[in-house]
Amino acid sequence: MNFCTKCGNPLNPNARFCGSCGTTINVSGSNSVAFNVSDPLPTKTGTSPQMSNLNFSMKNSQRSVVNIWLILMAVFVFCVFVPSIIGLDGFGGGFFMSFMSGFLAIMSVIVILIYRSRAKQLDKILKGEGRVAVWQYAADEWLRFIAADFEEEKKSKKMLFFVVAIIAVVVGLLLMISLDNTLVLFIALGIIPIVAIPAFIAPRYRYNKLKNSEAKALIAEKGVIVGKMFHIWIGLGARLDSVILNSEVNPAMIEFTYSMPTRNGRNTNVARVPVPRGKYEEACRITDYFSNRDQ
């Protein structure tokens, strides 16, 4: 079956125009996409034929993060030598300042290496490597999407907050009983507001970032870009865990669930890509492709 490249509407075999948007169909197929819904998507290094004529450009924000941390690393390294420069006695705070500055400098190097890797991957994706689809959205579609995404993020962060809060209370009570020390309970309870702050801020930060983004998305083999949000599931132990098409929300969304290792286990994230009008069939094929490619 062929599909209109303008709106994605299915076309009759001998159609000369799209019955949905009225676009004229060239006999040679230059204005239609000749593929069967059951056909596989391109290989990992290929480009989806229906998306080859669409461009996607954006500033590589990951490089900006690298540059910021390079400056911070230079500041921390300088601070290591500040006590000796100003004649600060080691036991008067000089040793502590040098130690903390050295520790922060090492942490800066780790952050730089991580974001440098992400910047390289983003460059490759922006250049078209492994590109699967590029979608653009009407204003009303984009607003509905960011509102739905905000609600989903609030729901997931609230659930995480309650889980951590319950664990903190239980562990605090057990330690208080076993150690007969009330202070331990208050220390455990102190974790709750620490977790509450990012749980409250993160969904709103994501909402504002999407709201101020251009209404477009790019789906690639190794990651997706939604507005200004960049998600990647390659390197440093990261992996793509599942891809589903959620048609119970408006607009429908492809949900890419991926995870990466942390010192407390694997941290799971969800990248939601809204499906534009007329692209549902394509979304089904993309979902099937990602779901079946590693089987």
Give the whole-angstrom CA distance, residue 226 versus residue 213: 8
Lowest mean pLDDT among 14-18, 99-103, 161-165: 14-18
Q: How confident is the model at residue 286 (pLDDT cuts 50, 70, 90)?
A: very high
In tens, the pLDDT along 55-96 reads 777 788 888 889 999 999 999 999 999 998 988 888 878 888
Q: 217 — phi, psi (to 5°)?
A: -145, 150
| pTM confidence score | 0.66
Other CB atoms within 10 A of residue 183 CB: 10
pLDDT attached to residue 283: 92
What mean pLDDT is predicted for residues 139-168? Answer: 89
pLDDT attached to residue 275: 93
Parse the chain into domains and list their residue ranges: 61-126, 133-292
